[in-house]
Amino acid sequence: MTVRPLLFAANWKMHIDPSEAEAFASTFLRSTTAAPGREIWFFPPAVSLLATASAFAGRPDVRVGAQDIHWEPKGAFTGATSVPLAKASGAEAALVGHSERRHVFGETDTDTGRKVAALLEHGLIPVLCVGERLEERDAGGTDRVVQRQLNAGLTAVDPESLSRLVIAYEPVWAIGTGKTATPEDAAAVHRVIRDDLERRGAEPAAIPILYGGSVKVANVRVLLEQPELDGVLVGGASLDPAGWAELVKRGSEGEGGQRTVR
């Protein structure tokens, strides 16, 4: 029997400075308690990484990660954060291939593969983000795009290391638009991802697959009633500590509990 924890990941993007992160943590920690089978991850901007990790130290259900990293351990890469630097600042994970990195900053599929390999080499958890644009979806290309991005991101990962990853499906057309994939549509893509992982020799039931795309308090519970969804990657709705605490609580209720897979 494999138990996958339900995972709530907050991507703060370019919000929340170090002092705000400390205040956020103070409020959030008063509003929540650790619960079995549930993890809460935070991805602050680089300048707030150390403050966020320090503020949540001591809560066993909380991890902190970087929003992006460079695959080289050091060098002349102005503005970039290496994996060792992120780790020294308290990061246990990092997002890779977020849609904004791909479509705003031009990150390539090849870049994502390098970043995943670098994170695994240094013992951090890659959260590999995949997802299609609206025109790709309308053309029936969702599965093809997702599998291409998986192929690139996992190109250097051996089957034994696959269990150290998290995958996040984030349809680009649903991020920050107010549009959300239906729970059934999201679950269908999650099944495609899990089948792909199984073909690579992974134990697919052990790898969390998150959904990201305009997740909010009003829809998180119905999304997580789909057993294929192991959690959510949330942007705007994670910026208010009380609202984020409510989203985590709502998503953990009813059928949204931890995933037990036989």
What are the residue numbers of the active site?
98, 170
Length of the chain: 262
Question: Of residues 221 and 206, which shows the higher confidence score?
Answer: 221
Distances (CA, A) of 5 to 46, 60, 89, 252: 26, 13, 25, 11
Unique residue bearing structure tokens 């593969």: 113
- pLDDT grade, residue 4 (50/70/90)? confident
Please check the confidence at residue 196 and state whether its pLDDT lies above 70: yes
In the DSSP assignment, the letter for residue 159 is G
Nearest to 157 by CA among 108, 207, 205: 207
d(CA 94, CA 83): 9
Rg (CA), the chain: 17
* Tokens describing residue 141: 């290309």
> Is the confidence at residue 1, as pLDDT, over 70?
no
| 3 state SS of 169 | strand
Other beta carbons less than 10 A from residue 233's beta carbon: 26
pTM over 0.75: yes
Amino acid making up residue 95: L
